[in-house]
Structure 1
Amino acid sequence: MDTAVIDHLRGWIGKSQTDEDLISERQARLMAATVDYPLERIAAGQPLPPLWHWVYFLNGLPPAELGRDGHPARGGFLPPVPLSNRMWAGGRVAFLRPIPIGASVRKVSTILSVEHKQGRSGDLVFVTVLHELFLTEGTLCLREEHDIVYREPQPLAKPVPVADAASPAGVSRSLTPTSTLLFRYSALTFNGHRIHYDADYCREVEGYPNLVIHGPLNATLLAQLAEAVGGRPIREFSYRGVSPAFLGETITFNVQCDGDAVRLRALLGNGAPSMQAEARLA
């Protein structure tokens, strides 16, 4: 990619935007129903479960302001990266204070970095966005660095199983996501990205064999399992997408606890990792 293009994209570094939202109990209950979380734990004043802030602060644009992929057209808050495929690559989240359900929260987002890398399949551009969530009195509750990757469509390499995938230690749960689950999560996050609901677009434009399971959905399910097994709230959570998971595949969510440290993986049917994560318990 031309150096002048990268320099232009780096002009977005430091760009910031602010939003406010009510962490409504109704939205949390809809999320609980979607990911099979106990409804009795959802009530005003109770802490929002980890990573559920992704179903708030939703940005809805009219059709004329959307790109072909269903996302907002590029060149607004995010830089106009000239690579067609955009994916949620991973991130790092620090849970500093509980976010009470029913609270009003302010979110400040800032472009931290724009990095160009040359992968085996061509150009990659990584954009990292810092999100900070504050209660109305100014208390910082959550700090998140969100990595977005852009690339051109390419033939997908066959995922390689990890060495110990045949009998992973710790606690595991399996899930075969359905199109209903993908629809409900897209609706809750107001995510118009067509890779999650338009199979023809997946195959013909972005080069995927089927609908793609949301990366943040896998991360949320891993964080949920970490708290359930660890018996304590998460203090820090980092995750990285390794290989896409597709509709029809069974995903095994595995958690291994070692004191406050938790190692997590979302494994595909052949044992290859779809997502890897680490957590620290409070």
Structure 2
Amino acid sequence: METSTSNIATLDAAAIDHLREWVGRSETLEDTLCAAPLRGFSATLDRDDPAPVRGTVLPPLGHWLYFLPHAPQSQIGPDGHPRRGGFLPPVPLPRRMWAGGRLRWDPANPLRVGDEARRVSRIESVTHKQGRTGEMVFVLVKHQVHNAQGLALTEEHDIVYRAAAQPGETPPPPTAAETTAPWRREIVPDDVLLFRYSALTFNGHRIHYDREYVTQVEGYPGLIVHGPLIATLLTDLVRRHAAPGANITRFEFKAVRPTFDLHSFHVNGAPSADGRRVELWAHDHEGWLTMRGFAELG
């Protein structure tokens, strides 16, 4: 989950039309799927995986370690993010969140260490809405990742931009999560874990590692656990408990509530009777739902 602060600009019809000019824009990035990031990935998830070698299949969401943005230091904003513009529309609302996503893997063509891969990204839609706490802009990005054999992965990425929080604003009521599950793991999100994941994904956003910034500038009680990290921990839970040889072919997730590093949290899974689908969710130390999703196995 990602947020930042800046001056609010009300979006009139002309501004919304301007943002919609980004629909259809595309970007192509190429990368070599090398082994080094996967070694860091396994260590960060506290796994004892064999050392990856050429031909090793990438774990679910391992592709997030590649095709990373590399904005020059001079183009980084005060929150640690690259300054807005470029491929994504320059939405002037200050808070940004990776709200969720939907992914499908081709089980016949997995991404492997050593692949020369290409990611083609396209802005599918830009939607403006007026919510209970102000205006919001939803940007849907579609990524397709190819290797030499063809399309290997399709991902839809939901980004939400929101107005800044107002003094006295009441947050939406939390949702109680089921706190018992067949698969369950407690996660201690210390600042080392958050720093390591930020480093793996080249994410400079200060809310994940700069405690002074996140508490004094952003006004949050602690460091914010990355939404993609929680999603990764959900898929890792499946890897730890699913039957040998069962691979995730589809995964969906939606962020519901921020998670802070002040307390441990839990990732949970409940497989279907046939073992082909797993309901997944995360909850905080108070039992409030923070992320929900599911995985399909093939």
> Shorter-chain TM-score: which interval?
over 0.9
Shift of 1:130: 0.7
Residue in 2 aligned with 1:15? 25
1:249 aligns with 2:286: no
When structure 1 is superposed on structure 2, of 114-123 and 261-270 the one drifting more is: 114-123
Q: Name which of 139, 143, 162 aligns with 1:151.
A: 162
Aligned pairs (5 A) from 1:78-89: 78-89=88-99
CA distance in 1, matches of 2:297, 2:38: 22
Shift of 1:124: 1.2
Q: Name which of 115, 120, 126 aligns with 1:108.
A: 120
Unaligned runs of 5+ in 1: none
Aligned pairs (5 A) from 1:163-202: 165-166=178-179, 168-202=180-214
Q: Name which of 254, 263, 275 aligns with 1:240.
A: 254
CA distance in 1, matches of 2:264, 2:240: 21
Residue in 1 aligned with 2:297? 281
When structure 1 is superposed on structure 2, of 66-75 and 122-131 the one drifting more is: 66-75
Q: Render the CA deviation track for 1:82-122: whole Å, top value 9, x for unaligned.
A: 11111111100001131111211111111111111222111
- The alpha-carbon distance between structure 1 residues 207 and 128, as it changes in their structure 2 partners (threshold 3 A), is farther
Shift of 1:152: 2.5
1:124 aligns with 2:136: yes
| Count of residues in correspondence between the two structures | 279
Q: Is the 8 A contact 1:106 1:136 kept in 2?
A: no
Moved over 6 A (4+): none
CA distance in 2, matches of 1:86, 1:174: 27
Unaligned runs of 5+ in 2: 1-10
- The alpha-carbon distance between structure 1 residues 186 and 145, as it changes in their structure 2 partners (threshold 3 A), is same
AA in 1 matched with 2:17: D
CA distance in 1, matches of 2:51, 2:159: 32
1:207 aligns with 2:223: no
Residue in 2 aligned with 1:229? 241
Residue in 2 aligned with 1:54? 64
CA distance in 2, matches of 1:156, 1:143: 37
Shift of 1:153: 2.9
Q: CA RMSD, aligned part only?
A: 1.6
Q: Is the 8 A contact 2:174 2:257 kept in 1?
A: no
- Percent identity, aligned pairs only, is 47
Shift of 1:156: 6.8
CA distance in 1, matches of 2:111, 2:57: 5
- The alpha-carbon distance between structure 1 residues 190 and 173, as it changes in their structure 2 partners (threshold 3 A), is same
Please give the secondary structure, in 2, of the residue aligned with 1:39.
coil
Shift of 1:228: 2.5
Shift of 1:41: 6.0
Please give the secondary structure, in 1, of the residue aligned with 2:50.
helix
1:261 aligns with 2:273: no
AA in 2 matched with 1:243: R
Q: Is the 8 A contact 2:39 2:51 kept in 1?
A: no
